[in-house]
Amino acid sequence: MKSWRSRARVGIVAGVAAVTLPMAAATAVAEAPPGDGWGEPQGQLTYDSKKACEDSEKDPAAQLGYDEVWCDGPGGRGSYKVYYR
């Protein structure tokens, strides 16, 4: 049987990891659009990838008079914020 000190130490480490890892992952993914002139996010939808997001948003951006699209999200399947300029 393990001592209560060993169990407490394991519990504290697990608790810290459970809070720290998701926070670190969320901040590492967030990326601002490159350069100046980007407007407010135009929406936030789910896409399979960053490239899929940007490819599918090119036509709507062009219809609104924009030349560039930037999608900010997890890199894989997930929710992306869409910026136009």
Residue 68 phi, psi (nearest 5)? -130, 150
Q: Which two tokens stand for residue 13?
A: 């480490």
pTM reported for the whole predicted model: 0.59
Q: Is the dihedral of CA 38, 43, 48, 54 positive or negative?
A: negative
Instruction: Specify the pLDDT at position 80.
Output: 94
Q: What CA–CA distances, in Å, run from 64 to 34, 36, 84? A: 20, 19, 9
Instruction: Specify the pLDDT at position 44.
Output: 87
72, β-bridge pairs: 81
Instruction: Specify the pLDDT at position 17.
Output: 57
If you ran DSSP here, which 8-state letter would residue 33 be given?
A: P
Along the chain (85 residues), what's the average pLDDT of each consecutive run of 10 residues? 62 57 50 79 90 94 94 92 92
Question: Contact 45/79 with Cβ under 8 angstroms?
Answer: yes
